Amino acid sequence: MLNRRRFLTNAATAAIATAWVSRGGTRARAEEAGNGSRWRRFEIITKIDLQPAEGPAQLWLPVVRSAGDYQKADAPRWVSNSTDIRMEKDPSSGADILRVMWQDEPRRAIEVTQHVATRDRRVASKIAATEAELQHELRGTPSMPVDGIVKTTAMRIVEGRDRAEDRARAIYDWVIDNTFRDANIDGCGVGNARDMLESGYFGGKCADISSLFVSLARAAGLPARDVFGIRVADSADFKSLGRSGDITKAQHCRAEVYLDAHGWVPVDPADVRKVVLEENLPLDNPAVRAFREKAYGNWEMNWVGYNTARDLVLPGGELRQGFLMYPAAVTSRGELDCLNPQTFAYSITSREIAA
């Protein structure tokens, strides 16, 4: 049990995530009929206990967001011995970030619970964007530049293709055909597109492969973005694409590209390469070819999205992150390694609950 156990419910942040249960029955049934897939509801619990250390400590957690007509998240609830817990926003991406601070407490612990409803996402459900949003998703960032070798490569891929749809598909296919999943890379990778292209080494994990797609798409004039999240249930497609129960290491990055005719189009080239490696199937296997087609325009929502933030400074500090998909923390000993359970003990679990 947590020291000085107290429930701190963030009612003020309810506006950031409309509770799916508030949807009227008639409207929900109409949306389900239009989308063709049913809603599922999940409970996600994150438990963190920082290693004891003198002096203050800060923790930042990504928060599941509401998005389009495929993901509806409740505001998070938590139990902690911290008396200073705030919901912050990344000013660039609008990502919601839970910031937790401790001063001289010998124990630094928090348990965060969030409920989210999802249903499989299909390109038929158009998600529009503002002009400002599209311009934001065309820019280069330190880890995803749109000039130099990235621009040169992108223009070579899309040469002779004028339609945005054709350009997006060409980049998607090029990324799948030229990358591979490297199981020896820590976590989800670092997501630096220029490094991949300059080194000529196209092995990576989801953050690397998705970021390469996004960077090339932007360089070719197509608004695109990574979506960072975590798997919460088993997959109906392949065993390797799902996780339930203990999901501490189930983080996964997907991508979106904007096409005028369709709005934000979901894609997942990284999962195609994951299937090839972990299911031990060649790229031309019929099941892989079928999944490759499905992963362009569809997301199986046994996964939930946190945010689209890239190259951000975490609120209230100077800690820089390429992306926020894992918990991040700083103590008097410096930044904790989110991939090292000896210095940063945390667990994330999920379970499906009745709708």
CATH code: domain of residue 90: 2.60.40.2250
Beta bridge partners of 264: 258
Do 199 and 140 lie in a common domain? yes
- Looking at residue 264, its pLDDT comes to 96
Residue 112 has pLDDT above 90, yes or no: yes
Q: How confident is the model at residue 35 (pLDDT cuts 50, 70, 90)?
A: low
pLDDT, one tens digit per residue, over 171-219 is: 999 999 999 999 999 999 999 999 999 999 999 999 999 999 999 999 9
Do 193 and 330 lie in a common domain? no
Which residue range(s) make up the domain with 282? 119-304
Do 260 and 158 lie in a common domain? yes
Q: How many domains does the chain have?
A: 2
Q: Which of residues 266, 284, 304 is at a domain's end?
A: 304
Residue 33 lies in a domain: no
How crowded is residue 342: how many other Cβ atoms within 10 Å of its Cβ? 7
Do 199 and 328 lie in a common domain? no
State the helix-helix crossing angle for 148-157 and 206-219, rounded to 10 degrees.
80
- Lookup result for tokens 């220029």: 194
Do 281 and 293 lie in a common domain? yes
Whether the pTM exceeds 0.85: the reply is yes
Residue 19 lies in a domain: no
Helices (H) and strands (E) in the chain, counts: 8, 22
Q: How confident is the model at residue 36 (pLDDT cuts 50, 70, 90)?
A: low
Lowest mean pLDDT among 231-240, 275-284, 287-296, 326-335: 326-335
CATH number at residue 191: 3.10.620.30
Sheet containing 57-62, strands listed edge to edge, beginning at the edge strand earlier in sequence: 84-89, 96-102, 57-62, 328-331, 334-335
Do 42 and 88 lie in a common domain? yes
Q: What is the mean pLDDT of residues 44-69?
A: 92
Do 69 and 164 lie in a common domain? no
Q: Which of 52, 113, 102, 53 is nearest to 79 (CA)?
A: 113
Which residue stretches of 130-256 are H helix?
131-136, 148-157, 164-178, 193-199, 206-219
